[in-house]
Amino acid sequence: MTIKEAQEVVDNWIKTYGVRYFNELTNMAQLTEEVGEVARIIARRYGEQSEKESDKNKDLGDEMADVLWVLICLANQTGVDLEEALQKNLDKKTKRDNKRHLENEKLK
């Protein structure tokens, strides 16, 4: 599925099952909450904190998909074409950083 298709699928789901989009501020708060859930899993599973028993069965991919879902909702309701925005962002990074990381001694 392309990013553009994902935006259409989410929009159709919202219109069919979700009644309407939550407002942008509610979705921003929701995005923050979902990112926090991803951070908790990564911190406990891959970081130095011990993983609680209740966290061991959490699906990292599902939590990342929740982040993507809310991000797509925000893009849809603010008129952002994420596919276009990502391509512009990649172009910017390539132009700006095309030698920066290759020449970074810390990465060698």
Place of tokens 């810390």: 106
**How high is the pLDDT of residue 27?**
98
Does this model's pTM top 0.85? My answer is yes
Joined tokens for residue 102: 């290759």
Angle ∠(68,73,78) on CA atoms, nearest 5: 125
CATH number belonging to domain 3-81? 1.10.287.1080
How many other C-beta atoms can be found within 10 angstroms of the C-beta atom of residue 6? 16
**Where are the chain's structural domains?**
3-81
Reported as a single tens digit per residue, the pLDDT across 11-40 is 999 999 999 999 999 999 999 999 999 999
